[in-house]
Amino acid sequence: MRSQTIRTLIGGILSLFIAMGIGRFAYTVVLPFMQEAYQFSDATAGYLATSNYLGYFVGAIVAAKLNMEKKRILYLRIVLLLSIGTTALMGLTGVFSIWYFLRFISGALSAFVFVLASSIVLDQLAREGKSHLSGILYAGVGLGIMISSIIVAPLHQLTSSDGTWIGLALLAFILMIFVWFFIRPSRSSFRAEVQSTPVIHNLPTPPKKWIPWLAIAYSLEGLGYIVTGTFIVLIAQTSSSFHGDATMVWMIVGIVAAPSCIIWSKIAQKLGYVKSLIVSMVVQAIGILLPAIAESSVFIYASAILFGFTFMGITTVTTTLIRQMVPMNSSRIIGFFTTGYAFGQMLGPSLAGILANLTSSYRLALIGAAVVVFIGGLCLISGLKYESKYKTNNISWGN
């Protein structure tokens, strides 16, 4: 693999670390400390999360509409800097209305980063015939979750929940410097880069007419996974049956999520993309359901493992598949799928927070989320017939 591709891949990993692992998901592990300091309800916690995912939804729509192909690197640098700014500002105010605004903007920016970083790196990998390495890129989200979960508790002890946000922003800024140097414009023209991107027709992918089923399943995944993705630390901390440090739960999610993207890429090459997505969504549904069965330490840790193992793996397999189904103008098709995913996750936290307030428990919300993800997996069954045509020992997807 060329040095330029390696640098681009590392820059993409760090971009997702900054905007997703910190800017988007650090809220999950900081949330209990914020609630302790500012005494707001579970419903408010859900609304704050929803404002972030509403921003992600709006950002995904805009990213899908805009033609950013010629200036993707410039746009990536700008939105990363703005994302870091919104993270820092969360620690400089305790006004709820400003928090809502900042989480909204942060969500919109993280959608742009996801679309831009994915399209830049996936296109670079495709130019070398290395699309099957896309899982390495999405490991950046898991790394961000893992590192942020490790440093949040010490930061909170040294400062406060406000100081925690500022500390996370400083870490993100340091990483941004590396992104700036790793992802650099190529000397070749944009037209030459596009023409050099191989359009591989001999891979066994479903036809374009099947895309709506994949889009529906991915949107349902967004609606279901985000309940655990937002509240699992809070569920652990408020459960009388859980024993241990609640932030460890989120750290486990990150530790498992980081290599999961690579693992699911390999599974998809051997098992097939559609079958891999079905399996991963069923496994995730089980993981979401476990704390609803019993809020014990064993069940919550098991939920964190299964959730961490699947949620970014599903994103990895889906984005790689759609990039192969629609190889041209990758930022738009990825933006389209991210929009549906964002719409689902925009609804999840508010619905879960309201149910938790009404029932004084997250049990019903978790059951509902597990059912939604399971239904999403069922939506993909029609795609199995396209894989069955290519079952030989020597043919695998993504190679």
Q: What is the CATH number of the domain that holds 66?
A: 1.20.1250.20
Residue 395 inside a domain? The answer is: no
Task: Look up the domain containing 94 and give its range.
Answer: 3-183+205-388
Residue 245 inside a domain? The answer is: yes
Residue 372 inside a domain? The answer is: yes
According to the model, what pLDDT value does residue 335 have? 80
Cα distance between residue 44 and residue 51, in whole Å: 10
Residue 190 inside a domain? The answer is: no
Those residues of the chain that have pLDDT short of 50 are: 189-203, 392-399
pLDDT in tens, 214-258: 999 999 999 999 999 888 988 998 888 888 888 889 889 989 998
Residue 261 inside a domain? The answer is: yes
Count of other CB atoms within 10 angstroms of residue 134: 27
Burial of 245 (0-12, 13-18, 19+ CB in 10 A): middle
Residue spans of alpha helices (H) in 91-210: 96-127, 134-158, 161-182, 190-196
Cα distance between residue 362 and residue 226, in whole Å: 13
Cα distance between residue 94 and residue 134, in whole Å: 39
Count of other CB atoms within 10 angstroms of residue 331: 23
According to the model, what pLDDT value does residue 399 have? 36
pLDDT in tens, 314-324: 998 998 888 77
Residue 263 inside a domain? The answer is: yes
pTM to 2 decimal places: 0.81
Q: Which two tokens mark 203?
A: 């891979």
CA atoms within 13 A on the CB side of 374: 11
Residue 197 inside a domain? The answer is: no
Domain count of the fold of the chain: 1
Q: Which two tokens mark 194?
A: 């596009």
Residue 80 inside a domain? The answer is: yes
